[in-house]
Amino acid sequence: GGGMWAAGAARRAGLALAALGLALALAAWRRRRRARPLREVLVFPSPPSCTEALLAEAAEPGAAARPCHCPLPHGDCPLSRLLRHLLTARRSLDICLFAFSSPQLGRAVRLLHRRGVRVRIVTDAQYMGLQGSQIGLLRQAGIQVRHDQESGYMHHKFAVVDGKMLITGSLNWTTQAIQNNRENVLVTEDVEYVQPFLDEFERVWEKYNPINYKFF
């Protein structure tokens, strides 16, 4: 009887150890998954959809609970996912864009500026003044904007959120590109990719400092 009891106890102890080992392995796997940097690809065109609730919630927490009577679909889409990534900014947002005319993205950037996020924008001198450009509105809001003074285009299309999230691809931040063009956006927190874009932004930001402009 004592031998059977001892064998049962040993079996139970073995099962308990196995369960503990499984729990520890599962916890370690979950930690590794959480530690993995964000990687997401967004593909455009983005189908017409309402982003009002998303932007209203960013401006005033709780506002999303109010009904929206817009006839557009309210589901997730590439534009809403891009907006969500931008709206995670807490400290800084550095934007380097050839063309910026999307009202939704412009509104999101102004919201972040009002929230106290340091926003800096570099854009192309020839495209910043076109009809529909958001650059004038962003400047009026008090956001720092610098532009090129060269013969070639300032053709970059990227943004860095809080110095750790890179948003880049073929997409100009224009309604035409978002709704009609075949475009791609990569969102990543891989440091080895984020850092070169941070370095490039700082280089361009300093190069386009107005004190360096030559008018003659």
Which residues, 6+ apart, have CB-to-CB distance to 87 below 8 Å? 54, 58, 108, 111, 112
Active-site residue 147, yes or no?
no
Residues 94, 124, 162, 214: which is the catalytic one? 162
Ramachandran angles phi, psi of 43, nearest 5°: -120, 130
Residues 157, 164, 190, 214: which is the catalytic one? 157
Q: What is the spatial distance between Cα 127 and Cα 125, in angstroms, rounded to a whole number? A: 6
- End-to-end C-alpha distance for the chain, whole angstroms: 103
Residues 76, 155, 199, 207: which is the catalytic one? 155
Active-site residue 155, yes or no?
yes
Instruction: Kindly provide the b/e burial profile for residues 133-154, where b requires at least 16 CB atoms within 10 angstroms of the residue's own CB.
Output: bbbeebeeeebebbbbeeeeeb
Return the active site residues: 155, 157, 162
